[in-house]
Amino acid sequence: AQSVTQLGSHVSVSEGALVLLRCNYSSSVPPYLFWYVQYPNQGLQLLLKYTTGATLVKGINGFEAEFKKSETSFHLTKPSAHMSDAAEYFCAVSDDFGNEKLTFGTGTRLTIIP
């Protein structure tokens, strides 16, 4: 069975500061890892995903995440926060080479302080 833990249900950072959203996973097989973002009243949008290969993955809107097998982590970062980054962020894991049966974390709400 897989599971995802997102540390911190709410994170606040100042505009221009580093954004760090934490995600740890549990999987019995090599995982496929995803970060999704949800803006108010909108569907989840894929930010980035890790399947195989390079462990540092770059996504949209300047976000990136690094797969660290030894730490079973897939933390999401952005060097400089923008007001438009305020949203809910979900980490997810799949044990398939497709995107079926995603297991989601509980989400982290990111607030940007002007």
Partner 1 sequence: GAVVSQHPSRVICKSGTSVKIECRSLDFQATTMFWYRQFPKQSLMLMATSNEGSKATYEQGVEKDKFLINHASLTLSTLTVTSAHPEDSSFYICSATQGASETQYFGPGTRLLVL
Where do contacts with partner 1 occur on this chain (CB under 8 A)?
4, 9, 36, 38, 41-46, 49, 90, 97-107
Smallest gap, in angstroms, from Cβ of residue 87 to partner 1?
Answer: 13
Indicate the residue among 7 and 46 with the shorter CB distance to partner 1.
46
Indicate the residue among 41 and 70 with the shorter CB distance to partner 1.
41
| Neighbour tally for 98: CB within 10 Å | 9
Indicate the residue among 32 and 67 with the shorter CB distance to partner 1.
32
3-class state of residue 76 by DSSP: strand
Cα distances (Å, whole numbers) of residue 80 to 50, 74, 85? 22, 19, 10
Question: What is the β-pairing status of strands 10-14 and 108-113?
Answer: parallel
Smallest gap, in angstroms, from Cβ of residue 72 to partner 1?
Answer: 17
